[in-house]
């Protein structure tokens, strides 16, 4: 079954390190290969029916990694933004970086702001890169913005969540993919993915190409989503 509207896909990009180690290469080489795969997936996504793509690049818990690895990753993010911002602007890709901004370097913060400004008009794909991101922290910060005694609608709370993380509002996640063989959510889009279809693959992120994304999107199209209701047949 083909899906009729552009969908929101979230991806937990796991397995760069293991992919590299298996090949006798350094973990930083794995992250570099992972960044190359990000480029290919972003390029392929709109033609596969993806309208919003949220990529988990660095979790708030990833600060626990060795300083050298964090340094590598941060340099990679800056390089990615420097090279990809003009490309995204030319290709109609709106690039947002969601997550905290107060713990990253001023240079990376500036690169993020420049990227968001330069690509704000893009309508072909809304690319959201989650960096220093924690879904639970975002929910807590959004809750802090509420007036006492008010219960917001789910829609307005979702908008607030995007705003506290410096992004533009996005629809709920339809399909949540995790590479690397693990089957957990790791504090990613907990509110936004309440009814997401989950897709786990043993492939490491640098092995997950556009063909694999196409396979995941096709499988999503064949799943029956009832959102707690009944199928037409069962409802009679």
Residues assigned a catalytic role: 14, 62
Residue 96 makes contact with ligand FPP by CB under 6 A: no
Cβ at position 134, least distance to ligand FPP in Å: 13
**Cβ at position 17, least distance to ligand FPP in Å:** 3
The backbone region for 227, taken as left when phi is positive above 0, alpha when psi lies in -120 to 50, beta otherwise, is left
Binding flag, residue 17, ligand FPP (CB under 6 A): yes
On whether the CB atoms of residues 169 and 159 are closer than 8 A, the answer is yes
Q: Which whole-number Å values give the CA distances from 87 to 43, 81, 163, in the listed order?
A: 10, 10, 25
Q: Which CB atom, from 115 or from 217, has the smaller least distance to ligand FPP?
A: 115
Using CB positions, name the residue nearest to ligand FPP: 17
Exactly one of 7, 29, 35, 95 binds ligand FPP (CB under 6 A); which one?
A: 35
CB of 147 to ligand FPP, least distance (A): 36
Size of the residue set binding ligand FPP (CB under 6 A): 20
Instruction: Decide whether 25 or 154 has the Cβ nearer to ligand FPP.
Output: 25
| Binders in 70-89 for ligand FPP, by CB under 6 A | 76-77, 80
SS3 assignment for the chain: CCCCCCEEEEEECCCHHHHHHHCCCCHHHHHHHHHHHHHHHHHHHHHHCEEEEEEEEEEHHHHHCCHHHHHHHHHHHHHHHHHHHHHHHHHCEEEEEECCCCCCCHHHHHHHHHHHHHHCCCCCEEEEEEEEECHHHHHHHHHHCCCCCCCCCHHHHHHHHHHHCCCCCCCCCCEEEECCCCCCCCCCCCCCCCCCEEEECCCCHHHCCHHHHHHHHHHHHHCCCCCCCCCHHHHC
The binding track of 104-133 with respect to ligand FPP, each residue x by CB under 6 A or -, is: -------------------------x----
**7, 9, 10, 31: which one contacts ligand FPP (CB under 6 A)?**
31
| 16 binds ligand FPP, rule: CB under 6 A | yes
Which one of the spans 55-63, 117-125, 145-153, 154-162 is the region binding ligand FPP (CB under 6 A)?
Answer: 55-63
Which residues contact ligand FPP by CB under 6 A?
Answer: 13-18, 31, 34-35, 38, 55, 57-58, 62, 76-77, 80, 129, 180, 205
């Amino acid at each position: 079954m083909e899906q009729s509207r552009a969908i929101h896909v979230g991806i937990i990009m796991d397995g760069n390190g293991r992919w590299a180690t298996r090949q006798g290469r350094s973990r930083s080489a794995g992250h570099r290969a992972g960044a190359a795969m990000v480029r290919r997936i972003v390029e392929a996504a709109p033609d596969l029916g993806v309208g919003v793509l949220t990529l988990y690049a660095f979790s708030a818990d990833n600060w626990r990694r060795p300083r050298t690895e964090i340094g590598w990753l941060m340099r990679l993010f800056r390089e990615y933004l420097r090279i990809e911002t003009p490309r995204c602007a030319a290709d109609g890709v709106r690039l947002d970086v969601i997550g905290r901004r107060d713990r990253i370097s001023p240079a990376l913060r500036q690169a993020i702001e420049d990227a968001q400004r330069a690509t704000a008009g893009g309508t072909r794909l809304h690319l959201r890169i989650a960096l220093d991101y924690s879904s639970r922290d975002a929910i807590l910060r959004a809750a802090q913005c509420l007036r006492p005694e008010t219960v917001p609608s789910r829609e307005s709370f979702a908008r607030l969540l995007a705003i506290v993380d410096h992004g533009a509002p996005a629809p709920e996640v339809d399909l949540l993919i995790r590479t690397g063989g693990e089957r957990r959510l790791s504090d990613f889009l907990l509110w936004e993915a309440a009814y997401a279809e989950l897709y786990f693959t043993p492939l490491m992120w640098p092995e997950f190409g556009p063909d694999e994304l196409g396979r995941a999107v096709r499988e999503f199209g064949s799943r029956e989503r009832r959102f707690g209701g009944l199928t037409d047949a069962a409802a009679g």
